[in-house]
Amino acid sequence: MVPAREHSQRLPLPRNRPSPTKVTVLDMQPIEPAVGGGRLRLLGLYHNLGELVEATYVGTYDWPGPGYRDHQLTSTLREIDVPLSDRHFAAADEWRRLAGGKTVIDASFPMLAHHSPEYVQAAKAAARDADVVHGAQLLVLRDLRSAQRRVTLRREAVAREHPRHRAR
């Protein structure tokens, strides 16, 4: 049996440890300030993926006003927020009108992203440097091709909205 103090000691990392896996996450909201369920969930998911994972989160604001920001939230999580353009908000307002006043800016984002080329450019730049790309806004990368790219789709929205996928 190993004494408790020896068992709890951390093993030193090898000197020639592998380079970190780079993960890019694309979404429609900022993480900070982490208020409310969605932002707290994002911070909880991505703030500490491990010493050998570096995450870059590219988000935006679904309201006009805030500007661009690029900051390090934790030692392994960088957040980049790129504001949507006025043209994007105008198009989203038209889609909301067509949807009977329902908020559709998040659901329509893949079809309207071309109105916010700065966001698309930031998403593509982050994805180009990543080993893994994850998130709700992957369709903005339609023309970014790479045989080595591993892409995962976020299915939480489907699980929430589609009765067949709900937990039983």
- Condensed to tens digits (0 to 9), the pLDDT of residues 58-102 reads 999 989 999 999 999 999 999 999 999 999 999 999 999 999 999
- d(CA 80, CA 121) in angstroms, rounded, equals 12
- Condensed to tens digits (0 to 9), the pLDDT of residues 20-41 reads 899 999 998 999 999 888 899 9
* H-helix segments, 47-98: 86-98
- d(CA 64, CA 89) in angstroms, rounded, equals 8
Full-prediction pTM beyond 0.85? Answer: no
**Is 106:120 a contact under the CB 8 Å cutoff?**
no
